[in-house]
Amino acid sequence: MNIAVITGASSGLGREYVKSVYKMYPALEEIWIIARRENKLFELKVELGDKIRIFPIDITDSFAVNQYAEMLKETNANVRLLINNAGFGKLEEFVNISAEDNCGMVRLNCEALTLMTAVTLPFMSYGAEIINTCSIASFAPNTRMAVYSSTKAYVMSLSRALREELKKRQINVLAVCPGPMDTEFLPVANIAKGTSRTFDTLPRVNPKEMAEKSLLASKKKKAVYTNKAFYKFYRFVAKILPMSLVMKMAKT
């Protein structure tokens, strides 16, 4: 059975991924959607129909992820597309963020993404695609987002190395790097108007457009996708200027 798997599917970018994958990959037999809030996943199932299979699980719970992996085996799944999108951030100085949240970001953004990839890869075949939701925060360390930007630097590094390793299986790995999007990410991160001049002024990215365009970039087997000229320019500048200077520019 040919399927797609999408984590963080209950809101924001993940929800848009579900809708776009539904439209752009008509040959898929099922789309497996994962997040903790069952009611939000169920809404998508009601909207899109029987192709949607919901997994209301916490992917930082390895027992739950192993149950998902069992289901891959039981259904003889052939995963054509894995979108590792679940993630969260916090905007504050490191010492003012609880240890639980600092470590929670590492657990979800890095560890769970790695586990999801590890248990899904055996069920992926030639020509399949992996999309990892990264961030512009991966381009340089961000003060007041020290752990978050570090987790996204991990996602970028893992995606690039894995892409090279998986070339022999013709599986592409794409790191998607959105700028700020008006999703639940902002309130979860405690980012409200006035909390950060940088966030107040940065151009907003539309999640629907991000989902559609990054899926096209994945089909073209790209390594990294950022939209908007402003963020493409930032990515370029972050590569060529000294890190200390880039960090001053990117101060949140």
Give the residues lining the site for ligand NAP (CB under 6 A): 7-14, 34-37, 40, 58-60, 85-89, 108, 133, 135, 178, 180-181, 183-185, 188
| Largest Cα–Cα separation, the chain | 52
Rounded Cα–Cα distance for residues 230 and 168 (Å) = 34
The one-letter code for the residue type at 34 is I
The one-letter code for the residue type at 28 is L
Q: CB of residue 125 vs ligand NAP: minimum separation in angstroms?
A: 25
**Residue 39, burial from CB neighbour count under 10 angstroms (0-12, 13-18, 19+):** exposed
Q: Please give the torsion angle defined by the CA atoms of residues 55, 82, 178 and 46, in that order, rounded to the nearest 10 degrees.
A: -40
Q: Which is nearer to ligand NAP, 79 or 134 (CB)?
A: 134
Q: Which is nearer to ligand NAP, 34 or 81 (CB)?
A: 34
Q: Where are the alpha helices (DSSP H) in the chain?
A: 12-24, 38-48, 62-74, 99-105, 113-120, 146-165, 185-188, 197-201, 207-219, 229-240, 243-249
Q: CB of residue 24 vs ligand NAP: minimum separation in angstroms?
A: 18
Q: How far apart are the first and last CA of the chain?
A: 45
Q: CB of residue 204 vs ligand NAP: minimum separation in angstroms?
A: 8
Q: CB of residue 152 vs ligand NAP: minimum separation in angstroms?
A: 7
Q: Which is nearer to ligand NAP, 8 or 82 (CB)?
A: 8
Q: CB of residue 85 vs ligand NAP: minimum separation in angstroms?
A: 5
Rounded Cα–Cα distance for residues 104 and 84 (Å) = 16
- Contact between residue 225 and residue 174 where contact means Cβ atoms under 8 Å apart: yes
Q: Which is nearer to ligand NAP, 14 or 172 (CB)?
A: 14
Rounded Cα–Cα distance for residues 139 and 127 (Å) = 28
Q: Which is nearer to ligand NAP, 85 or 117 (CB)?
A: 85
The one-letter code for the residue type at 103 is C
Q: CB of residue 23 vs ligand NAP: minimum separation in angstroms?
A: 18
Q: CB of residue 93 vs ligand NAP: minimum separation in angstroms?
A: 19
Q: Which is nearer to ligand NAP, 80 or 152 (CB)?
A: 152
Q: Which is nearer to ligand NAP, 107 or 221 (CB)?
A: 107
